[in-house]
Amino acid sequence: MKNISKIVLLTLLVLSQSSYSQQEETPKLIVGVVIDQMRAEYLYRFQDNYTENGFKRLIKEGFNVKNTHYNYIPTATGPGHTSIYTGTTPANHGIMGNSWYSRALKREVYCAEDSTVYLVDNNGIDKGVTYKNYSRSPKNVMATTITDELKLFTNGRSKVIGLSIKDRASIFPAGHMADAAYWYNSNNGNFITSSYYKNDLPKWLKEFNNQKRADSLLNLVWKPLLPINKYKNSGEDNASFEKIHKGRKNSTLPYKLNELRKANGDFAFLAEVPYGNTLLTQLALTTLKGEHLGKGDDVDFLAISYSSTDYIGHNYGVRSKEIEDTYVRMDREIATLLNGLDKELGKGNYTLFLTSDHACSDHPPFLNAMRLPGKFYNPKSIGEDLNSHLSKIYGEANYVLNIDKLQVYLADTTIDKEALVKETQKFLKTVEGVKETFAPEFTVLNLNNSVIGAIIRNSYHSKESGDVIFHFQPGWMLDRNYGASHGHCYTSDTHVPLLWYGMNIPKGESVKPYTITQIAPTLSMLLNIPFPNSSNTRPIEILFK
């Protein structure tokens, strides 16, 4: 009996140590996937046409955080990617939008601009004419990212790479310390970087660019992947609020890309069709092999952001045949990516999360046709009317420096600033559609008793924000002729998917509310590394139970 007891105790000890070892095991690679402008409902509305190996695989074999939202405005690509990877909001990381007005520079600045660096293409550094459009780096991000913290924790041994069609969507996830961020050059179809990272492209990327894949994809015909009668969860093709490309008289599938490309930006046109996503998947799998990601002693990080979904959503809208076909194809891209990761690293040896940088809202004419509320607003017109109003009260002058979508920047004058702000708020409240106004700098005009006070606090940056922030009723959209848009605080724009999959991820789902800023601390806890320095400290607890 004593011998049996010893054997049982020894077995339990071994099992316990094995269990502990498994819990402490870390993946070879973290893969962050962001699908630009993806509404959470797209996981379900189009699911009848999905395969078992893409979105459904992630849902069935991973964990679905079904009630994930953004918690600031504007909901846009630059701040979205930055918030995912820093674990905080514009109030701390400083990326106020894709662009914003700078008082210091007296002009609008682009979120990823950096005049001290240059484009790096297949021929090395380009300091010529084209570099001005590609002077990019993460220098405007004022907080560390989860990828920065991984680099610091492993003393630089972990490799971190960011990939996207859009520069900001590859740069901000990769962070300040990345080995590289690569994005699409719409002038020639190559993937490029900037001298912030390196002075020459790696051999494998030059070879990839020399294959002229973008050129080949732009000679295809974009037609429905499945019989059109299977696309039953989108509206009629050629709706009145869809974009009509140059060279076309309607917006009906199919699109012969080789006939349209020259008149619609040539290589830039690839971003506006699903094959832009195809090219990015090809790049991701090539990067995986070219950089030997997941093959070292330390965990690596590959950040992938699919951008064509955003362009297509903006062009055709939430209910279009084009957007349904795009997500049917996107499902196949995810399947291809997962199969490639399985082949290269082995199933279960990597951890992946999938989310979006923002969702999107329906075009007001569509809403009106469905007897739902919705209208357009024009910031330029509001700014002109506001300046006229203030001039009548205080004398003719240029009081409004800029209206950046939902923020008013007022000029410095001899007039009492608080009085000027109050009068600005008073005027804005008379503008049709405006729901609330905020002046965070003044306590008497603060966010108390506001419906979205917490969201504004998360959005307000003391150095970069405007003097007055305002927002509209649901259904209102920045004036545009076609498609979908985003930027507001309502669930149409804030509710995004969040799927976790792979090593150390349980199977299941949760309907508990979570914010996008909980992704970074969750990764910190999974990897046992520090939080980004301004991060939310609350991980998604249910993943650890």
Partnered with residue 509 across adjacent β-strands are 64
Q: Is the peptide bond before 373 cis (omega within 30 degrees of 0)?
A: no
Among candidate residues 11, 26, 68, 77, the one labeled active-site is: 77
Longest dimension (CA), the chain: 100
Cβ pair 407, 76 in contact under 8 A: no
Catalytic annotation present for 77:
yes
Tokens at 151, concatenated? 């680099």
DSSP state of 361: B
Residue with tokens 């196949």: 332
6: Cβ contacts below 8 Å, ≥ 6 apart: none
Cβ pair 338, 330 in contact under 8 A: no
DSSP 118-141: -EEETTEEE-SGGGGGG-B-STT-
Residue with tokens 């969750």: 522
Per the rule left: phi > 0, alpha: psi between -120 and 50, beta: everything else, 227 is beta
Alpha helices in 211-274 (DSSP H): 213-217, 257-260
Alpha helices in 408-539 (DSSP H): 417-428, 453-459, 491-494, 519-527
As annotated, the active-site residues are 77
